[in-house]
């Protein structure tokens, strides 16, 4: 049972470190600005019946 507590604490610590990273900041800013990969229709390809 102590193992789960330790692993949970490590998980929270790693998550907090990730939130402080430059990569997370860049991703968060891009998401807030509404930037995407440039695909006009977004989403998956639509299959047309044969």
Local confidence pLDDT in tens for the 50 residues of the chain = 899 999 999 999 999 999 999 999 999 999 998 866 555 555 666 777 76
Hey, what long-range contacts does 3-12 have (CB within 8 A, 24 or more apart)?
Answer: none
pTM: 0.56
Residue 1: predicted pLDDT: 85
Rounded distance between C-alpha atoms, residue 20 and residue 33, angstroms: 19
Residue 48: predicted pLDDT: 73
């Amino acid at each position: 049972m102590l193992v789960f507590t330790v692993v949970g604490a490590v998980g929270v610590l790693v998550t907090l470190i990730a939130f402080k990273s430059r990569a997370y900041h860049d991703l968060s800013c891009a998401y807030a600005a509404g930037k995407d990969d440039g695909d006009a229709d977004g989403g998956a390809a639509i299959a047309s019946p044969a």
